[in-house]
Amino acid sequence: MLKKVFVLFCAFAAITGCKNPAGETQLPPPTVIVSPVTPEDVSPTSSFLGKLEAESKAAIVPRVSGVLQKRLVKEGDIVKKGQPLFIIDKRPYQIAVNQAEAAVNSAKATADSAKLAFDRAKRSFDRKAIPKAQYDNANAVNRSAQAALKGAVAALEAAKLNLTYTDITSPTAGKIGIINFNEGEQVGPTVGVITNLVGSGPISATFSMSSRTLADLRKRFSVLVDAQLLVQIRNKANLELILSDGTVYPEPGNLTFADNAVSAAADSRRFKASFPNPKGDLLPGQTVTVRITFKAPVTTIVVPQSAILNDVGGKYVLAVSNSGVVSRRGVSLGAELPGGKQVINGGLNDGDVIIVEGVQKAQPGGTVNALSREDYNKLLTSQR
């Protein structure tokens, strides 16, 4: 049971004050509400603001230039891997294939003729019927013709490949974004992206974790290496996604990535959590909250967030002794909990009494009239 600093109150003390033996008016100590510090079993929760990013995405850029002849999909369509998306006018590329085929046929005829001439020259040279210079010339012509044939065949393959590029297909399953070109417009590798394709697989939430929070997690799990920390969080915590309207996404996630660099400006590191997205409800660019909740409850000291103060010396609370004297207690904060509560990692002990309401009335070294919430309510009732 909390001890009251003052049992008797001067009537209307808040207005007139009390008088000491010398006749001087003295205001009574301010009344504050206090609560004893007791450990609680809680499931610590940490929340982080993040952005959604597609794990699989592709910019659809044509490999060849030409007129966009057909759009086979609409914006927002769900497509499969390999599905046709757009068709570029094939006619110039079909003509190039025909020309390349003709060039191959011509080169083949020339190569066949050069080979026959070389074979005749070789037989004649073997019989010593022609000079070596004539043989060497036939050999050079043959080799040049064979090389030209290979070049013509390679050009034909390139022409055929360019013809296949006029059919633009989906590199992966996903959802079509805004289409930037209409049928009849010129497209090509240097013209721009026709559309962006967002994969229909899992989606990542990228967020930053402060060095202090990261240190708390490492201490909790007794690990030093990031890979071990990721495994521990996967096994011993639940990862939830809170959408901008406050609803909890039904699919749980997994922590998949920890950056190897610290942001000097924010003293934090980037992390990624992967969430299933089977229906495509989650979209890249959405602002979300990633919440990590530990599965097994832990026993720790918890205080109302309203009791925590902050100044140049850091975070602190105001404790009250049995005689009503106020003292400052520096505290180390842990995770925030629902309902306006805060985990205290250090600075308070079981049984300490702290001010939870009226902290603005008290000063370290001063005296207060410390009442429990119950006694304070009784006092209000008696004054009515």
3-state per-residue secondary structure call for the chain: CCCCCCCCCCCCHHHHCEECCCCCEECCCCEEEEEECCEEEECCEEEEEEEEEECCEEEECCCCCEEEEEECCCCCCEECCCCEEEEECCHHHHHHHHHHHHHHHHHHHHHHHHHHHHHHHHHHHHCCCCCHHHHHHHHHHHHHHHHHHHHHHHHHHHHHHHHHCCEEECCCCEEECCCCCCCCCEECCCCCCCEEEEECCCEEEEEEEEHHHHHHHHHHHCCCCHHHHHHHHHHHEEEEEECCCCCECCCCEEEEEECCCCECCCCEEEEEEEECCCCCCCCCCCEEEEEEEECCCEEEEEEEHHHCEEECCEEEEEEECCCCEEEEEECEEEEEECCCEEEEEECCCCCCEEEEECHHHCCCCCECEEECHHHHHHHHHHHC
Check residue 44 and give its pLDDT.
Answer: 74
User: Is 62 in the same domain as 194?
Assistant: yes
Return the residue matching tokens 């959604």: 52
Residue 3: pLDDT band (50, 70, 90) is very low
Contact 27, 260 (CB under 8 A): no
Check residue 84 and give its pLDDT.
Answer: 97
Beta bridge partners of 249: none
Residue 79: pLDDT band (50, 70, 90) is very high
pTM score: 0.60
User: Is 273 in the same domain as 232?
Assistant: yes
Of 198, 215, 241, which residue sits at a domain end? 198
105: left (phi over 0), alpha (psi -120 to 50) or beta: alpha
192: left (phi over 0), alpha (psi -120 to 50) or beta: left
Residue 152 has pLDDT above 50, yes or no: yes
Identify the top-confidence range among 140-144, 205-209, 218-222, 254-258: 140-144
Return the residue matching tokens 């205080």: 303
Residue 300: pLDDT band (50, 70, 90) is confident
User: Is 24 in the same domain as 72?
Assistant: no
- Calculate mean pLDDT across residues 1-19: 41
Check residue 375 and give its pLDDT.
Answer: 86
**CATH at 245:** 2.40.30.170
- Print the domain residue range for 281: 45-55+201-296
More confident call, 17 vs 179: 179
- CA-to-CA distance for 88 and 184, rounded, in angstroms? 9
Contact 172, 197 (CB under 8 A): yes
User: Is 148 in the same domain as 179?
Assistant: yes
Angle at 198 between CA 193 and CA 199, to 5 degrees: 135
Check residue 237 and give its pLDDT.
Answer: 85
User: Is 214 in the same domain as 283?
Assistant: yes
More confident call, 278 vs 196: 196
How do residues 254-265 score in pLDDT, each as one tens digit?
Answer: 988 888 888 777
User: Is 183 in the same domain as 171?
Assistant: yes
Take residue 165 and report the two structure tokens written for it.
Answer: 């590029």
Residue 151 has pLDDT above 70, yes or no: yes
- 40's CB contacts (< 8 A; 6+ apart) are 299, 300, 301, 302
Of 163, 198, 233, which residue sits at a domain end? 198
**CATH at 105:** 2.40.50.100
Give the CA radius of gyration of the chain: 40
User: Is 271 in the same domain as 361?
Assistant: no
User: Is 225 in the same domain as 143?
Assistant: no
- CA-to-CA distance for 331 and 187, rounded, in angstroms? 63
Average pLDDT over the chain, rounded to whole? 87
User: Is 189 in the same domain as 212?
Assistant: no
User: Is 69 in the same domain as 193?
Assistant: yes
Check residue 384 and give its pLDDT.
Answer: 67
Of 269, 296, 323, which residue sits at a domain end? 296
Check residue 23 and give its pLDDT.
Answer: 54
Residue 78 has pLDDT above 60, yes or no: yes
The reply to whether 254 falls in a domain is yes
The reply to whether 72 falls in a domain is yes
The reply to whether 232 falls in a domain is yes
Residue 7 has pLDDT above 60, yes or no: no
The reply to whether 1 falls in a domain is no
User: Is 36 in the same domain as 95?
Assistant: no
**CATH at 32:** 2.40.420.20
The reply to whether 218 falls in a domain is yes
Check residue 11 and give its pLDDT.
Answer: 34
User: Is 315 in the same domain as 247?
Assistant: no
Residue 223: pLDDT band (50, 70, 90) is confident
How do residues 95-116 score in pLDDT, each as one tens digit?
Answer: 999 999 999 999 999 999 999 9
How do residues 27-61 score in pLDDT, each as one tens digit?
Answer: 789 999 999 998 888 877 788 999 999 888 899 99
Structural domains in the chain (count): 3
- Calculate mean pLDDT across residues 328-351: 87
